[in-house]
Amino acid sequence: MKRMKKKFRIKQSGTVKLSRVSRSRSPPSTRASAHSKKNNKTKSKEIVKYIQTGIPGFDELFDKGIPQGRSLLVTGGPGSGKTIFCLQILTLAALRGEKCLYLTFEEPEERLIEYLENFGFKAKELIRKGQLKIIRKDAFALAGYIEAMLANAKGELLIELKEILDIIPTEFHPDKIVIDSISAIATALPPKEEGYRVFIEQLFKYLETLQATSFLISETEDSLGTVENFVADGIIALYNLKKRNVRTSALEVVKMRGAKIEKKLVPFEIKDGKGIIVYPEAEVFEEV
């Protein structure tokens, strides 16, 4: 009785009295169903976990962070900073004890390790400890396998895709993955839109089964309208803007499913010994 009296005292208006009566008249099954839906919503919210990249200033563009286990597209033109951005995310995660994998279809492993060492990140030590793996694959060899499978399996390559990529050793379970780049795979494939579309769709499905947070680099300044844009959970765009005779680096979070983001263009710098530093409160002006 005391609990009912306390509840009534907090909400004293006549409207509340009516709502109490209407609820009491609701069939038990309806009330149970509503209660179950409410609990399911609460549980789904509790399941979502968010990660921080550790890049100075970048995480401030998110309300809570990047939803864990999602696949994100990192786009930008040549020299925009995509590679160091993703390398830095992996290295900082490896330093926190996470297992990270960088799959490259372009640059040799040695050159990527050199990049990290030049920025003050001890990549060799992380690799020795088993926290970071950098593996190079042949994009044209992969493209040949994909074409053969598309011809034989009519586009169904979800099962075979894992065998083709062979990117994850059986004893290695990465928390974060970078693929650099899907543009290299697209270039290697014959100019058939259907084959590339099927591959990208199955690639994102495959990454989802790994339950790792993935970053896929795309060598384009505009991913809107592409198949990657629709299947990716998030898009992070990097730019190399020109103002008068000076180039300015900037980035923005174009979209991020399941997360609140700051939708604005912000500048960043790439500094020796530090890597990328983002300035979330600064503004970027582009000359037209």
Residue 280's pLDDT is what? Answer: 97
For residue 176, give the nearest of 94, 232, 110 by alpha carbon: 94
Residue 140: count of CB within 10 angstroms of its CB: 12
pLDDT mean across residues, the chain: 80
Asked if 261 and 234 count as a contact pair (C-beta separation under 8 A), the reply is no
By residue count, the chain amounts to: 288
**Each residue of 1-57: pLDDT tens digit?**
444 443 333 333 333 333 333 344 445 444 445 545 545 554 445 578 999 999 999
Residues 153-180: what's their mean pLDDT?
70
How distant, in Å, are the alpha carbons of 136, 137, 138, 267 from that of 182?
13, 12, 12, 25
Residue 152's pLDDT is what? Answer: 63
Distance of CA 57 to the CA centre of its chain: 17
Residues 88-110: what's their mean pLDDT?
95
Residue 240's pLDDT is what? Answer: 93
State pTM to two decimals.
0.79
Tell me the CATH number for domain 49-278.
3.40.50.300
Residue 25's pLDDT is what? Answer: 46
**Each residue of 190-228: pLDDT tens digit?**
766 677 787 888 888 888 988 999 999 998 766 555 788
Residues 146-156: what's their mean pLDDT?
64
| Residue 157: pLDDT over 90 | no
Residue 197's pLDDT is what? Answer: 82
Domain boundaries, the chain: 2-46, 49-278
* Cα–Cα distance for residue pair 152/9, rounded to 1 Å: 71
Residue 171's pLDDT is what? Answer: 79
| Residue 248: pLDDT over 70 | yes
Alpha helices in the chain (DSSP H): 2-10, 14-25, 28-47, 82-95, 109-118, 123-128, 139-153, 158-165, 182-188, 193-210, 227-231
* Cα–Cα distance for residue pair 205/66, rounded to 1 Å: 19
* Cα–Cα distance for residue pair 143/66, rounded to 1 Å: 31
Q: In what order do the strands lie in the sheet with 176-180?
A: 132-136, 100-104, 176-180, 213-218, 71-76, 234-243, 246-256, 266-271, 275-278
- Say which residues have a Cβ less than 8 Å from residue 88's Cβ, sequence separation at least 6: 53, 54, 55, 119, 121, 275, 276
> Which contiguous run of DSSP H or E holds residue 213?
strand 213-218
CA within 13 Å, CB half, 180: 24
